[in-house]
Amino acid sequence: MGKQSTAGHLANVSSEELLAGYTPNSPEEKALLRKIDSRIVPAVFFMYLLSYLDRANIGNAKTAGMQTELGMSSTEYSVVLLVFFVGYVLGEVPSNMLLTRVRPSLYLPGIMFLWGAVSLTFSACHSWGALAVVRLVIGTLESGFGPGVAYLLSSWYRKNELGSRFSLYYSATAISGALGGLIAGAVTTGLDGVGGLTGWRWLFIIEGSATILGCAAALFVLPDYPTTTLWLTEEEKRLAAARLLYDSVGQSGGPGATHGGLASLAESLLDWRTWMFTFIFMMTTGSQTIQYFVPTLMTQLGYTGNMAQYMTIPPYLVAAVFIIGLGFLSDRTGERALVIASATGVAAICFVVDVATYNTHVQYAFLCFAIGGVWASCMLVLVYLSNIISWPSEKRAVSQAFVNAMGNSASIYGSFLWADSTAPRYVPGFSTTIAMLLACSAATLLLRYMIARYPYVIPDADVPHDDTTVSEKVQDANMVKTTA
């Protein structure tokens, strides 16, 4: 008999019994998948949207006069940006280790409420030091959200389903950039001077309040894990557990839950795959630090006032298209690595054009495509990681958090790449970003070769060893579908 596989009434069902009754792509599984999608994807999308609005609105506030009002230098602004990532990096691994032991439906909305409440205090800051303290606290509170959602999604979806769902969720980062410019333009102009507050202070008040309201809604929608979620029947829980077991995905409260907290941490840190994913993600997130300077870049392209805010919208809309399109493409083809390498390569070429030309219209167009490639590759690296290091679940959670933490540490030094003194060309920022993207592309291809040469081995004897690629899994599922 295999290990005990699920919680509640399924506690006595073995792994073999779960798999024996499972048929991939059955009508029952499709109905379950629609039910899961209707709950999880909208919930995490809107939560992440609010998270990124709170994180990135500092750039819109700067353009709206915050830097001038507080008398901040370029270096002081960079410090305000980077301290967010100090708290973010330090908190991710402990948070994800805790998440494997608590209810996500309470934990994730809980930390969301806290960072929304703290965001309100930006409106009372009168020095760059106060801004830095608030950013540090928000970074610490938000640290559990990104890797937490990545872990939650990978605890519900099969490997060949994860890219498309992750892309829908992650598109919130790009859409928040578009909405951020639209909201900032309206708020900083329409409410400037109301109640004796400047427009950028109102921006933090409104977006922080929206986050608090959003967490209240999430409490009623966000699920826990497949074996512990109340709105699934016992048969649906059994099916949810079986489909993940079929794909060798460890489950909280089910097969492959954990080898113990410290053991999972050690397993993750001693796995060479973790370190290769870390380097790749550091390159993509280092490139992504341009997001905090996009409003500033718009002013260098000749746009001023509200128009500078509104012109930040198209690049992020292009990024949303790239994220969703490449996410679905990687699921359909089963190729994560080649899509990542292509996206980062295209982004690097686009940034080269930005540096080489003086035509502002050409610069703007290629900036849009570059941002699209960067944002899509960041998302796909996390999906690729979740597909490869899938078992046990706590090792996956630790690896996701560690890679995300180290990747975001790149934002600490990346905050200094776009100093005002390098305007209007920002050659150091663009050159470093190009180098990071090319390094990411090369490292991803090397990782693909290494994974094929040294496949990930699941140590549990009673679990089907998954030595197939994602592409082969897709073909296998389609074969079952056509013969069923």
pLDDT for the residue 12: 58
User: Taking all residues of the chain, what is their mean pLDDT, rounded to a whole number?
Assistant: 86
pLDDT for the residue 248: 72
Inform me whether the pLDDT recorded for 195 exceeds 60. Answer: yes
**Which residues contact residue 356 at a Cβ distance below 8 angstroms, ignoring those fewer than 6 apart?**
none
Inform me whether the pLDDT recorded for 92 exceeds 50. Answer: yes
Query: Which residue has 């402990």 as its token pair?
Result: 94
The whole-model pTM stands at 0.83
pLDDT for the residue 5: 42
Alpha carbon of 121 to those of 67, 72, 300, 433: distances in Å?
A: 17, 18, 30, 33
Record the tokens describing residue 97, joined without a space: 């280790």
**Which residues contact residue 290 at a Cβ distance below 8 angstroms, ignoring those fewer than 6 apart?**
297, 371, 374, 418, 429, 433
pLDDT for the residue 445: 98
CB 394 within 8 Å of CB 251: no
Q: What single letter denotes the amino acid at residue 446?
A: L
pLDDT for the residue 85: 84
pLDDT band at 2 (very low <50, low <70, confident <90, very high): very low
- For the segment 24-31, the average pLDDT, to the nearest whole number, is 93
Inform me whether the pLDDT recorded for 481 exceeds 60. Answer: no
Burial category of 166 from C-beta neighbours within 10 Å (exposed 0-12, middle 13-18, buried 19 and up): buried
Looking at the DSSP bridge assignments, the partners of residue 14 are 4
Task: For CA atoms 41, 264, 114, 67, give the dihedral sign.
Answer: negative
DSSP, residue by residue, 268-335:
HHT-HHHHHHHHHHHHHHHHGGGGGGHHHHHHHTT--HHHHHHTTHHHHHHHHHHHHHHHHHHHHH--
pLDDT for the residue 105: 93
Q: Which of 193-207, 268-282, 306-320 has the lowest mean pLDDT?
A: 306-320
**d(Cα 76, Cα 95) in Å, to the nearest integer?**
29
**d(Cα 432, Cα 277) in Å, to the nearest integer?**
20
Query: Which residue has 């498309």 as its token pair?
Result: 164
**d(Cα 385, Cα 273) in Å, to the nearest integer?**
9
**d(Cα 160, Cα 239) in Å, to the nearest integer?**
17
pLDDT band at 261 (very low <50, low <70, confident <90, very high): low
Inform me whether the pLDDT recorded for 211 exceeds 50. Answer: yes
pLDDT for the residue 53: 87
pLDDT band at 295 (very low <50, low <70, confident <90, very high): confident
Record the tokens describing residue 53, joined without a space: 């609005």
pLDDT for the residue 251: 61
pLDDT for the residue 18: 74
**Which residues contact residue 280 at a Cβ distance below 8 angstroms, ignoring those fewer than 6 apart?**
340, 381, 440, 443, 444, 447
pLDDT band at 296 (very low <50, low <70, confident <90, very high): confident
Alpha carbon of 450 to those of 101, 271, 334, 447, 454: distances in Å?
A: 33, 13, 17, 5, 6
Q: Which of 118-132, 259-273, 315-329 has the lowest mean pLDDT?
A: 259-273
Inform me whether the pLDDT recorded for 390 exceeds 50. Answer: yes
**d(Cα 81, Cα 69) in Å, to the nearest integer?**
17
Angle between helices 74-99 and 104-119 (to 10 degrees): 160
CB 124 within 8 Å of CB 140: no
pLDDT band at 460 (very low <50, low <70, confident <90, very high): low
- For the beta carbon of residue 145, count every other beta carbon within 10 angstroms: 25
145-183 pLDDT per residue, tens: 999 999 999 999 999 999 999 999 999 988 887 888 888
- For the segment 124-144, the average pLDDT, to the nearest whole number, is 94
Record the tokens describing residue 214, joined without a space: 């959003």
338-347 pLDDT per residue, tens: 999 999 999 9
> Greater confidence, 248 or 28?
28
Inform me whether the pLDDT recorded for 11 exceeds 60. Answer: no
Buried b (16+ CB within 10 A) or exposed e, 318-345: bbbebbbebbebbbeebbbbebbbbbbb
Inform me whether the pLDDT recorded for 363 exceeds 90. Answer: yes
pLDDT for the residue 182: 85
